[in-house]
Amino acid sequence: MQDVVVLGVGQSEFGKFPERGIAELGGAAARTAIADAGIDPGDLQAAFSSRVYEAMITSQTILKDLGVTGIEMVNVENACAGGSTAVRSLYKDIAAGYVDVGIAIGVESMTTSPVAGKLIPPDKDDLDGQMGLSMPVLFALQAKRLMETHGAKEEDFAQVSVKAHEFGALNPKAQYRKRFTVEEVLGSRMVADPITLLQCCPNTDGAAAVVLASADFARKYTEKPVRITGSSLISGDYDFKRADLTTMPLGVKAATSAYEQAGIGPEDVDVVELHDAFATEELVHYEDLGLCPRGESVGLLRSGATSLGGRVPVNPSGGLLSLGHPLAASGVRIICELTDQLRGRAGDRQVPGAKVGLAQMLGGAATGLDAGAASVHILTV
C-alpha cells in the first residue's frame, strides 16, 4: 500500500445556475484543484467522477475541456455519497499502486434535475417511495424519535441550522452567506414537522474536485502533505436489524473502520464535515461518529462543542444547510474543506491548529435498508 495524500482541492461557485452545464461547473472545480496541486493536467493518470441526475460520462465531459484525454476515467453513483465514493475509488487505486496521481470530481445541476424544488424520493419503483417516503420525511420521522428518546426540542434542531449558517456566513463560497436566528428557522415554512424550510439544504448547482497522489509523487509538490489515513464506504444494512431509528448502523460501521485504519479515536478529531441535508440528522451523526456517548447528542450540541470556537467544530464550511448541497459534489467538497482547514487556509472559519479532520457522507434511501451508503474519510497533517 502506498500512502495517499490530498495534493490539490477546488470548488466551483455554489448556487442556482441553471444556465451552467456540467462541463462548466465541473471544469471550474477541476481547474482549481489541478492548479492548487501545482501539476499539469497531463500528469493525471485516472479520473473518478460522480453525479446523481442524468449522469453519463461525467469525467470525460468535464476533462476534455481541460486537455485531459486517453486515461482511465470512471463514473460512479451512490446518491449523496457518490462524491465520497469517487474519492475512495481513486484513493484505492493510488494506494494499490495502479496510478500515482488522479482527480476525483463531484458535480450536480440540481436546478435542472428532475427533482428541482421537490422532496427527493427513492427509486421510482421503491415501495416506501410509492407510499410517500422521501428524504425529509425519513429524517422528520427520525427527529420525532429523537424528541421522544433524547429529549430533543424543536429549538435544538433549529440551533443546528443556526450554527451552520453562522459558519456559512464566514465562507465566501456559501450559497446563503446569511445568519438566521432560532426564531427565524422555526418560523420558516413547515416542510415535514418538525423540519422547517431553513432546516433543509437548498437546491444547489455546483462541483468540487480533489487531486490525490501517492506520497512519493506528492513530495516534489508539497512539504506539508494532507494524508488520507482512513477511508471507508459501507452499504446499508436491513432496517429490521435496528431497534432504534435514532442510529444508522452503516454510519457506525463506516466510522469504526476509518478510525481503525487511522489508528485514532473520535476524541482525536479536531474538525468534522458531515451530511446535514436536514438539521435534525446532525444529532444522529454525532453519536454514530462517537463524538459523544450514545444518547448525549443534544447535550453535545447545547454545550457549544460543535459550534464556532468549540472543541470539535462540525461543518465549519456551513455544511449542506448553508454552503449548499449539489448531491454528488458534497462528498468531494467535504474533503476540500478539511484540506483547507488542515492547511490553515480556511480564512475566517479556520479551526485553530486543526490536525485531524473527519469527513462523513450518507447517501440514499430504499425500502428495508437503514440507508444506501455511508462513507468516512480521515485526513491528517
Partner 1 sequence: MTTSTTSTPFREGLFRDGSDGPTLLAGRCTSCGRVSFPVPDMCLQCRGQDIDAVELGGDAELLCATTVHMPNRHFPPGHAVGFVVLPQGVRIFTQLRPVDAKPFRSGMPMKLEIAPLWREDDTDVLAYRFVPA
Identify residues 317-376 at the interface with partner 1 (CB under 8 A).
367-368
Q: Does 116 bind partner 1 (CB under 8 A)?
A: no
Among positions 69, 130, 181, 303, the unique one binding partner 1 when judged by CB under 8 A:
130
Torsion of CA 81, 83, 88, 91, to 10 degrees: -170
User: Going by DSSP bridges, is the β-strand pair 190-192/373-380 parallel, antiparallel, or unpaired?
Assistant: unpaired
123 binds partner 1 (CB under 8 A): no
Contact 371, 138 (CB under 8 A): no
Cα four-point dihedral sign 117, 337, 97, 255: negative
Q: Which three cell numbers stand for residue 241?
A: 436489524
| Member of 128, 184, 268, 296 binding partner 1 (CB under 8 A) | 128
- The least CB distance from residue 130 to partner 1, in Å, is 7
- The reply to whether 145 sits near partner 1 by the rule CB under 8 A is yes
Number of residues that bind partner 1 (CB under 8 A): 30
Between 196 and 232, CB nearer to partner 1? 196
CB of 71 to partner 1, least distance (A): 41
End-to-end Cα, the chain, rounded Å = 19
Distance CA 354, CA 341 (A): 6
Smaller CB distance to partner 1: residue 56 or 131? Answer: 131
Told to check if 140 binds partner 1 by CB under 8 A, we report yes
Amino acid at 300: L
Q: Does 148 bind partner 1 (CB under 8 A)?
A: yes
Residue 124 or 220: which CB sits closer to partner 1? 124
In the bound state with partner 1, the residue whose beta carbon lies nearer, of 147 and 381, is 147
Under the binding rule (CB under 8 A), the answer on residue 280 touching partner 1 is no
CA–CA separation, 314 vs 146, rounded Å?
Answer: 19
**Of 64, 92, 144, 227, which lies in the binding site for partner 1, with binding defined by CB under 8 A?**
144
Regarding 97 and contact with partner 1 (CB under 8 A), the answer is: no
Q: Residue 172: which H helix or E strand, with range?
A: none
Residue 325 designated active-site: yes
Q: In what order do the strands lie in the sheet with 226-235?
A: 72-76, 46-50, 101-109, 205-214, 4-11, 226-235, 373-380, 356-363, 271-273
Grid cell at residue 226: 494532507
The pattern of x and - marking residues 222 through 241 that bind partner 1 according to CB under 8 A reads ----------------xxx-
Shortest distance, position 157 Cβ to partner 1, whole Å: 13
Which region among 121-129, 220-228, 301-309, 371-379 touches partner 1 (by CB under 8 A)? Answer: 121-129
**Contact (Cβ atoms closer than 8 angstroms) between residue 285 and residue 251:** yes
Q: Helix or strand or coil: residue 271?
A: strand
Q: With contact defined as beta carbons under 8 Å apart, do 64 and 32 qualify? A: no
Q: Is 278 or 286 the residue whose CB approaches partner 1 more closely?
A: 278
Is 80 known to be catalytic? Answer: yes
> One symbol per residue from 174 to 193: x for binding partner 1 (CB under 8 A), - otherwise; what is it?
---------------xxxxx
Identify the residue among 129, 187, 290, 304 touching partner 1 (CB under 8 A): 129
CB of 176 to partner 1, least distance (A): 20
Q: Is 284 in the site for partner 1 (CB under 8 A)?
A: no
For 167-184, letters b (16+ CB in 10 Å) and e give bbbbbebbbbbeebeeeb
Contact 328, 43 (CB under 8 A): no
User: Closest Cα partner for 297 from 159, 175, 198, 165?
Assistant: 159
Q: Which of 150, 165, 275, 325 is flagged as catalytic? A: 325
Could you say whether residue 115 binds partner 1 (CB under 8 A)? no
Q: Is 35 in the site for partner 1 (CB under 8 A)?
A: no
Q: List the one residue out of 238, 241, 245, 275 whose CA is nearest residue 143.
A: 245
**Residue (71 or 197) nearer to partner 1, CB:** 197
Give residues in contact with partner 1 (CB under 8 A).
118-119, 121, 127-134, 136-137, 140-141, 144-145, 148, 189-194, 238-240, 245, 367-368
Residues with catalytic roles:
80, 325
